[in-house]
Amino acid sequence: MPVSLDNLLVVGISSRALFDLEAEEAIFRTQGLEAYRRHQIENENEILKLGAGFALVRALLKLNVLTHNRRFVEVVIMSRNSSETSMRIFNSIKHYDLDITRAVLSGGSSLAPYLKAFNVSLFLSLHEDDVQAAIDSGVAAARLYQKPENALEELDQIRIAFDGDAVIFSDESEKIFQTQGIEAFENHERENALKPLPEGPFARLLKALSYIQNNLTSPDGRSAPIRTALVTARSSPAHERVIRTLRAWDVAIDETFFMGGVAKSDVLAAFKPHIFFDDQPGHCDRAAPLVQTGLVPLKQVPPAAPGHS
């Protein structure tokens, strides 16, 4: 029978996000595909350095060794490379002893059509176009910033931090704030406090992490191996709807910070997440030197078809 990925947290990650391929990317952009192909083949036995998403992937894969009878996480390497130029990637995966056996090598084509084929729950890349296409197709995705100096620090837990609106929740309320201001936003949230917020692109990921937390404890039997945080610009009175929404989803977030407009970077530096997801470039720019950061683009709505006269 074929293997099913339906009940797993599947992370799709580009080769450039898993490993440091910036020099190779520069060769491709400045010298072209043939020079890039030749370079990769000539250096296929040279192990790649660690990329922006490596620490998170390594930490997530460790969840599978905490139990002997089931897997929780699957990682799929997803690359626009051809099979001819991918040996260096596979050699590096083997060198670092990463439990990654599945790959999509699209030979220059878009990766987005293959995300749902592999039931991808989260897609990470440094290519803006691929990330946007993933979000537009309904898959949680983020464009990674280059890793900060402390990104590979070993932590006892997997720590993941999320922004709220347009990440965990939809951008419905965010649009009101952007177009009508803070007073209209707060009035809207107060009036709808008992109505759960619509799901955003990362709601499914948060629920999957919550499921793993509830079904897996660390070897000491006391603490879950995953710790989550919500770091949102919201404050009172807009906090109530967030709390009630998470309760309606039966999701418990370990740490919640209602920042009320205060910069998020110091809180994130104290929490030390493997990754922080936010939709605002300003928040990401400030956080990126301190913690690994992923920018979540807004879903692009295709233009309406012209009417018939």
Q: What is the pLDDT of residue 251?
A: 94
Q: Does pLDDT of 308 surpass 60? A: no
Owning domain of residue 230? 158-295
| Same-domain status, 282 and 186 | yes
Q: Does pLDDT of 218 surpass 80? A: no
Q: What is the pLDDT of residue 309?
A: 37
Q: Does pLDDT of 68 surpass 80? A: no
Separation CA 245–CA 38 (nearest Å): 53
Contact present, 196 and 172 (Cβ < 8 Å): no
For residue 279, give the CATH number of its domain. 3.40.50
Q: What is the pLDDT of residue 4?
A: 59
Which one of the listed residues 20, 130, 163, 279 is annotated catalytic?
A: 163
Q: Does pLDDT of 219 surpass 60? A: no
**Of 62-71, 93-102, 143-152, which has the strongest mean pLDDT?**
93-102
Separation CA 225–CA 62 (nearest Å): 10
Say if 139 falls within a structural domain: yes
Of the three residues 116, 144, 172, the one that is the final residue of a domain is: 144
Q: How many domains does the chain have?
A: 2
Q: What is the pLDDT of residue 1?
A: 46
Of the three residues 121, 144, 167, the one that is the final residue of a domain is: 144
Q: Does pLDDT of 256 surpass 80? A: yes
Mean local confidence (pLDDT), 4-14: 83
For residue 102, give the CATH number of its domain. 3.40.50.1000
Q: What is the pLDDT of residue 220?
A: 54
Say if 96 falls within a structural domain: yes
Whether residue 163 lies in the annotated active site? yes
| Same-domain status, 99 and 215 | no
CB atoms within 10 A of CB 148: 17
Q: Does pLDDT of 77 surpass 70? A: yes
| Same-domain status, 172 and 266 | yes
| Same-domain status, 108 and 190 | no
Of the three residues 86, 114, 144, the one that is the final residue of a domain is: 144
In whole numbers, what is the pLDDT of the chain averaged over residues? 89
Say if 149 falls within a structural domain: no
